[in-house]
Amino acid sequence: MCGIVGTVTVDREHPPDADLVRAMARLIAHRGPDDDGFLLAPGIALGMRRLSVIDVSGGRQPVFSEDGAVGVVCNGEIYNHLALRAELEARGHRFRTRADTEVIVHGYEEFGEGVIARLHGMFALALWDGANRRLLLARDRLGKKPLHYAALAGRLVFGSEIKALLLAPGISRDLDPEALDDYLTHGYVLGPRTIFRDIRKLSPGHLLVWEAGHVRFERYWQVVVTGDDRRPEGELVEELRALLRAAVRDRLMSDVPLGAFLSGGLDSSTVVALMAGLRSEPVKTFTAGFDEAGFDEREHARRVARHFGTDHHELIVRPDMVADLPRLTWQLDEPFADESAIATYYVARMARAHVTVALTGDGGDESFGGYPRYVQLARDPLVTYLPLALRRRLPLQALVPSGARGHDRLHRARLDWPRRYAESHAIFPPHYRARLYAPELLAALGSRDVLRGYTAPFIEAGGDLLGGAQTADLRRYLPDDILVKIDRMSMLASIEARCPLLDHRIVAFMARVPADLKIRGGETKYLLRRAMAPLLPETVIRRDKMGFGVPLDHWFRGDLRGFMSEMLLSPRLAGRGIVRGDFIERLITQHDTGAANHLRRLWALICLEMWARLYLDGEGWKQQPACAD
């Protein structure tokens, strides 16, 4: 696990600025505190920071081919590297290390760009082909590891985190209005955009090839949920259990201490159960909890820990965490409104005192059908019993309650399914735009359809409602929210997080499982519950999803009230030309009086202002704010 950076130029006479690349690597040293390494040659500079996990003493990067013509830096793990290594050695390649990264250079020599599709794991990599002066960037199938780039005149700059790219001269700090629109709508920026106009994300399952100043992209993998596997239920149950066990076994590969994040929910308990069956020593497990009972999962986690005899550790997150918010915001690079990132960081920091690698249950909801919103897709009687054409013509106001909640429900009732789903979990749906957005932002956006990022994959799935929703979430919510959260927060704590439920073979398998084997009679994750029933306590199998929420509402009505007011009522936020101050005041008033629950909206605006103070005001983005003890 590590972080990578680099720059390449068409100018062969003058190598890129080595000091720049070293500075870029230092800025992301939290991703790899153990070591660094660089490839410096005319026109190319690659750098990396290493968190040593495999071949601790011998696996330094960059890793080179036998003749030195091909060099690679990689962030992540290649879980099938032993099988690839055996195949390549049989073809005559000689290996110098035991590290998984070395299979990439020899695989490129043997298969060219086709080696990327042979890799099983989580990775973002940069490979320099010196003989052909070609740079290859690649990102894993589901986007577990990040990779950002800026294509400028005659050169390309890239890195694991945006903050590193901002050190490079010539990269504009101008904001992308469409990225702001994405953030205010969803709470995160949808790829391939970033909040900065000049910087982009490499999409999951894609290659970027730079050659002679020209860039081309190639997609090597993409998931579409079809639900077309009609084999008997029992056969699917057995195959899923085998896939789960194999995915966990692959992720136990480590030369350093290893454990698991445990909430006591079905997904994390599945991972711990399979780990316990594959290891002789007790699994180290880690849980974050809260004083507020409705958000605290510690007792659920304790039951699972006792059942499997784990070496269990836990902590309580309290509202004094505001002292750490600048550092967490700095680490996220972009405005990011998923409050569960807070708890994720704390549990990762606690785990780092005991282990270097932690398995997590992230990604199960998208594939297995675990979100309550999947169950609720067709439950509104306005939608279930009235065709869309009638809903758009009839006066439905009398059928919904008054107030903000009724207004939102009435609005969604008049939408088709893709837009209805996209808006159902939006923070500020598009009909808020005219009231919330400052005139400058409205003018820049014109008639842009901010929901297209969700509706396009929903429609492409072309099958049942669940398949459309899952396809949209796997391509949008998963890589741009869930995986951003787990990568940035675990890396800030210098811990490697592995997500076995996101093994691409499991995702592809579940994409073909019919909808009625994912959700049945209102029960989510039906097939996963069947597969894990022999291994997990019945209380876990039957438990509903709780989520990894944070009790911000309790805190903002109490200890954090002053913090919220300072962030949202300061003229600095309204003066940025992004949102309107008068509308923010109205949201706060409605929330305080109980007229509406605007918690997610207020938190999104707080995160935006905190980010702007660090990245836009002065030079604060260059410095890592101190984290409270």
| Residues with catalytic roles | 2
Exposed/middle/buried for residue 256 (C-beta within 10 Å: 0-12, 13-18, 19+): middle
Cβ-proximal residues to 293 (8 Å cutoff; 6+ apart), any chain: none
Q: How many helices (H) and strands (E) does the chain have?
A: 29, 17
Sheet with 35-41, strands from edge to edge, namely 35-41, 44-50, 2-9, 155-159, 148-152, 200-201
Cα distance between residue 608 and residue 325, in whole Å: 12
Cα distance between residue 289 and residue 263, in whole Å: 9
- DSSP, collapsed to helix, strand or coil, labels residue 308 as helix
Q: Are strands 311-316 and 284-289 parallel, antiparallel or unpaired?
A: parallel
Cα distance between residue 488 and residue 394, in whole Å: 47
**Which strand (E) or helix (H) includes residue 383?**
helix 381-385
Cα distance between residue 437 and residue 608, in whole Å: 13
Exposure class string for 298-329: b at 16+ Cβ within 10 A, else e: bebbbbbbebbebebbbbebebebeebbbbbb
Exposed/middle/buried for residue 174 (C-beta within 10 Å: 0-12, 13-18, 19+): exposed
What is Dmax (Cα atoms) for the chain? 76
- DSSP, collapsed to helix, strand or coil, labels residue 431 as helix
